[in-house]
Chain A
Amino acid sequence: EADIYQTPRYLVIGTGKKITLECSQTMGHDKMYWYQQDPGMELHLIHYSYGVNSTEKGDLSSESTVSRIRTEHFPLTLESARPSHTSQYLCASSGRTANSPLHFGNGTRLTVT
């Protein structure tokens, strides 16, 4: 049963378009994350947030931006999509305590043509 939701699941879009990938969680988690996953590669953290109005860039540089206006919502935006942005994007959230695992959404597979 998914408590973290990502939309759309699949997106094919042309170069230069602006896109927003949605992520919402119903668990009241303070921490949220965006990971980028390419086939056969490890997941790379591109953005994270420890609460409302808190956003930080992750370990992998990304041209995308994020916002955290509400606890449950953590959208990712690309102002001008390019073929190099083709990838799978995974959103996750976690609670505050050390034994709180990450809960992942099912991902958005983005293809930029």
Chain B
Amino acid sequence: AQSVTQLDSQVPVFEEAPVELRCNYSSSVSVYLFWYVQYPNQGLQLLLKYLSGSTLVKGINGFEAEFNKSQTSFHLRKPSVHISDTAEYFCAVSGRGAGGTSYGKLTFGQGTILTVHP
């Protein structure tokens, strides 16, 4: 079983400031890690994913995240945010199955609402 904790329910920042959204997970098996973004009245859209290899992964819209196995974290960062980044962000984890197959049963965190002020 897996669990995900997003440490901040809301993060207000000013435009062009850097931002970090924190995510910690627990799992008894190796995992795949994801960040999704949800704009108002829409479904979730994949920002980036970590499957294997380099621990720093880059996604869309200038976001990146770093997988830290020892700290079981997968924090999301952006060096300079825009008003359009205002949305809710979800961290998610799925356990690796036999042979490295992901079964897609994601466990989501509670979400972090990022509000970018002008």
Give the interface of A toward B (CB within 8 A).
4, 6, 31, 33, 35, 40-45, 48, 58-59, 90, 92, 94, 96-102, 104-107
Give the interface of B toward A (CB within 8 A).
4, 9, 32, 34, 36, 41-46, 49, 51, 90, 96, 100-111
B51 touches A98 (CB 8 A): yes
A48 touches B49 (CB 8 A): no
In whole angstroms, what is the CA distance A6 to B42 when docked?
11
Smallest CB separation, B60 vs chain A (Å): 11
Partner of B104, one of A33, A105, A107: A33
Q: Considering the complex of A and B, which 9 residue pairs feature the smallest CB-CB distances, nearest first?
A: A104-B43, A98-B102, A101-B46, A43-B108, A104-B44, A42-B108, A94-B104, A42-B110, A106-B43
**B34: chain A residues within 8 A (beta carbon):** 101
**B111: chain A residues within 8 A (beta carbon):** 40-42
In whole angstroms, what is the CA distance A98 to B105 when docked?
11
A43 touches B104 (CB 8 A): no
Chain A, residue nearest B106 (CB): A102
Mind listing 20 A-B residue pairs with CB under 8 Å?
A31-B103, A31-B104, A33-B104, A33-B105, A35-B108, A40-B110, A42-B110, A43-B108, A45-B105, A48-B105, A92-B43, A94-B104, A97-B102, A98-B96, A98-B101, A99-B49, A104-B36, A105-B43, A106-B41, A106-B42
